Amino acid sequence: MTPFEALYGYAPPLHVPYLPGDSQVEAVDIALRDREEMISLLKGNLQKAAIRLQRQADKHRVDRSYEIGDWVWLKLQAYRQKSIRGIHHKFEPKFFGPYQILDKIGKVAYKLNLPPSAAIHKMFHASLLRPSSPPTGLVPDLPSISHISDAIPQAILECKMVKRHNQAAPQWLIHWVGRSPADASWEFADEIKERFPWFLEDKKP
């Protein structure tokens, strides 16, 4: 289901490009040519807006690279399921560690030396890491898994449109890495794109 169908309840009309002169009726020919010009203008404006948004987002992105043996802080999100999330989750720490990098997986993923008590997988995207100096004491354990999640999206299970700020906004049902599809949660698409700009990179045509 496309966002258009979710919002209006029917499939969008099929657009068949009109070639000038196909209609013998002058009024129809003029109207259809005007329509094609308007559609072309709208598409161009949408492309320009997308480019501007991409450039603005890129200004705040920093490409980080780490080596095996480096120490990093790990950013973990409050567990997405509101039913078991802490009451004061906004005040909970977001960075934990530091932890040492054991291996580099591809160009942007790293395997960390987490405590044995950690109940989450040990591979994380570079966007969730921050450089750190070697610890001067013992590395603290991670808090209970019921309060945090690595919050790495694995797949989009469903899509829907909801009303937000009096406007239609797309939501995705996100299946999180290392968790059952039953624990999937509805997230706003723009928030997922902002938090995980790499998520859809390998899904682009």
pLDDT in tens, 141-198: 666 544 444 567 888 999 999 888 888 889 999 888 777 788 788 888 888 887 777 7
> What's the Cα-to-Cα distance from 191 to each of 62, 66, 121, rounded to whole Å?
18, 26, 23
Q: For position 77, what pLDDT does the model report? A: 63
3-state class (DSSP) for residue 6: helix
> What's the Cα-to-Cα distance from 199 to each of 139, 172, 177, rounded to whole Å?
30, 13, 12
pLDDT band at 84 (very low <50, low <70, confident <90, very high): very low
pLDDT band at 70 (very low <50, low <70, confident <90, very high): very high
Q: Which two tokens stand for residue 143?
A: 């808090």
Its pTM stands at: 0.45
Percent of residues, the chain, with pLDDT higher than 70: 80
